[in-house]
Amino acid sequence: MTYGGAHAMAAVWRALGVDAEVIPPSDEETLALGARHTSGDECLPQKITLGELLKIARRPDYSPERTAIFFATTTGPCRFGQYVPLFRQAFRQEGLGELQVLAPGSDDAYQSVGRQFPDLPRLGWWAVVGADLLQKALHRIRPYERTAGDSDRVYQEGLEAFCRAIERGAPSRRRHRSALVECLSATARRFARIPVREASHPLIGVVGEIFCRLHAFSNQELIRRLERAGGEAWLSDVSEWIWYCNEWEAREVGLRGRRISFAMLGVRLRDWVQRRDEHALRHPFSDLLQGREEPDSPGELLEYARPYLPPEGAMGEMVLSVGKAVHLRAHGAHGVIDISPFTCMNGIVSEALYPRLSRDLGGLPIKNFYFDGKPAPLDRDLEIFLELARGYRARAEGVGQ
Ligand code: SF4
């Protein structure tokens, strides 16, 4: 989840009558608590998420009977499937009782949660899409704002209004969605009115492991640092992952010989409804985000990735990162940054493929940034990377020829 996505999802829970709140921002205590149960072999997101949960459990009002965490998970070869067992073990060892976890998996694109909370999948999708859009608008405008802080303020206020609109609900789903569209339209208009400088920064696509690239504490505020160094970021969003899960689920259903079945019909129908919702919510931002369009379908990204990583033979962010790099270049990016935790399987595989991909894209600068919770010389590396991106842009635009 992004910062905004987590807040919007908490609003969804509250709309469903659950007393929900977002885990407070990460800090040094998070890392210290996480380190008590990790050896250094684990991925950074595991250490951070565990540290967050232990921090919550230290609150005087914490009650294991009245607290549950909502934590989307997955199965498969990646270490992500081991997070929840480790959390439970750490809670037992700390004498904190049984940790209650509501953990929908990616196998059915997180739809299992709908069995207990039928309205959650649709409302959750609106929350994800709306939060993604607000964040995209922020990244589109902030590098050019004349007065520092304008974009952050509009973003924060827009997000709060969006969360209130989610929580308020409406007599019907159609009216609820319309209220959200109205709310996003007001924020899009506010973004468009922010005074900006006439400039065109190098456009840098940001891909990589989903937690680390979206969690500003984990990536040491890479996006803000990139902007300060003179770049504009185009960050891969959460919706992309949901589209990918839908696509994967459809492939799995097909492989089980149920290409023509109610199961497949259900997947396709859901995909269609989600796409319609996304179009409606995105509409207010169509001018502001012109030129930053996402692929029409996840299949498009997978086909971009195919020459490097056949999507049937590999699963996870590695496929999306590689495919997205091609899409980003086709839409004007001058460089691509891959954010991953240290030793992340996805980051390692992508990194091995990037030299060939870069050659095929005319020398597009692509760089991996790995994070392990320790301070890194990020600003210097970003400056150098942006120089490469400026050079690439000059060559691509034929400057000096
Ligand atoms: S995607 Fe990478 S960081 Fe995340 S659990 Fe898997 S290996 Fe770890």
Tell me the pLDDT tens digit for each residue of 280-306: 999 999 999 999 999 988 789 999 999
Secondary structure percentages of the chain, helix, strand, coil, to 5: 60, 10, 35
The C-alpha atoms of residue 35 and residue 31 are separated, in whole angstroms, by: 6
pTM of the model: 0.94
Mean per-residue pLDDT, 318-339: 96
DSSP string, 77-136: SSGGGGHHHHHHHHHHHTT--PPEEE--BGGGTTGGGGGT-TTHHHHHHHHHHHHHHHHH
Whole-number Å distance, alpha carbon 343 to ligand 1 midpoint, is: 8
For the Cβ of 208 lying below 6 angstroms from any atom of ligand 1, the answer is: no
Distance of CA 110 to the CA centre of its chain: 15
The C-alpha atoms of residue 116 and residue 46 are separated, in whole angstroms, by: 27
Does the domain at 201-237+294-401 match CATH 3.30.1490? Answer given as no
The C-alpha atoms of residue 258 and residue 264 are separated, in whole angstroms, by: 7
Helix (H) or strand (E) holding 206: strand 203-208
Residue corresponding to tokens 């056949």: 310
The CA-atom distances, in angstroms, between 68 and each of 18, 23, 56, 94, 135 are: 11, 12, 11, 17, 28
Mean per-residue pLDDT, 335-360: 96
For the Cβ of 154 lying below 6 angstroms from any atom of ligand 1, the answer is: no
Whole-number Å distance, alpha carbon 318 to ligand 1 midpoint, is: 11
User: Could you report the per-residue pLDDT of 241-252, keeping only the tens digit for each?
Assistant: 999 988 888 888
Instruction: Quote the pLDDT of residue 400.
Output: 46
The C-alpha atoms of residue 289 and residue 58 are separated, in whole angstroms, by: 42
The C-alpha atoms of residue 167 and residue 394 are separated, in whole angstroms, by: 48
pLDDT surpasses 80 at 160: yes
The C-alpha atoms of residue 401 and residue 399 are separated, in whole angstroms, by: 6
Q: Over the range 37-47, which residues count as b (16 or more CB within 10 Å of their CB) and which as e?
A: bbeeebbbbbb
Instruction: Quote the pLDDT of residue 74.
Output: 78
For the Cβ of 225 lying below 6 angstroms from any atom of ligand 1, the answer is: no
Band the pLDDT of 138: cuts 50, 70, 90. Answer: very high
Instruction: Quote the pLDDT of residue 333.
Output: 97
Band the pLDDT of 330: cuts 50, 70, 90. Answer: very high
The C-alpha atoms of residue 348 and residue 351 are separated, in whole angstroms, by: 5
Helix (H) or strand (E) holding 331: none
DSSP code of residue 295: P
How many residues comprise the chain? 401
User: Which residues, at least 6 apart from 57, have a Cβ–Cβ distance to it below 8 Å?
Assistant: 64, 91, 94, 96
Q: How many helices (H) and strands (E) does the chain have?
A: 15, 6
Band the pLDDT of 76: cuts 50, 70, 90. Answer: low
For the Cβ of 74 lying below 6 angstroms from any atom of ligand 1, the answer is: no
Band the pLDDT of 181: cuts 50, 70, 90. Answer: very high
Mean per-residue pLDDT, 10-15: 97
Is 212 in contact with 341 (CB distance < 8 Å)?
A: yes
Neighbours of 252 (CB within 10 A): 14
The domains of the chain are located at 17-115, 201-237+294-401
Mean per-residue pLDDT, 96-120: 84
Based on its alpha-carbon atoms, the radius of gyration of the chain, rounded to whole angstroms, reads 21
pLDDT surpasses 90 at 105: no
Band the pLDDT of 401: cuts 50, 70, 90. Answer: very low
Which one, of 208, 188, 231, 158, lies nearest residue 346 by Cα? 208
Mean per-residue pLDDT, 107-136: 89
Give, using CA atoms, the residue closest to atom 4 of ligand 1. Answer: 80
Whole-number Å distance, alpha carbon 32 to ligand 1 midpoint, is: 20
Is 344 in contact with 219 (CB distance < 8 Å)?
A: no
Band the pLDDT of 397: cuts 50, 70, 90. Answer: confident
Mean per-residue pLDDT, 20-28: 93
Mean per-residue pLDDT, 355-371: 97
Half-sphere exposure of 251 (CA within 13 A, CB side): 15
Whole-number Å distance, alpha carbon 81 to ligand 1 midpoint, is: 9
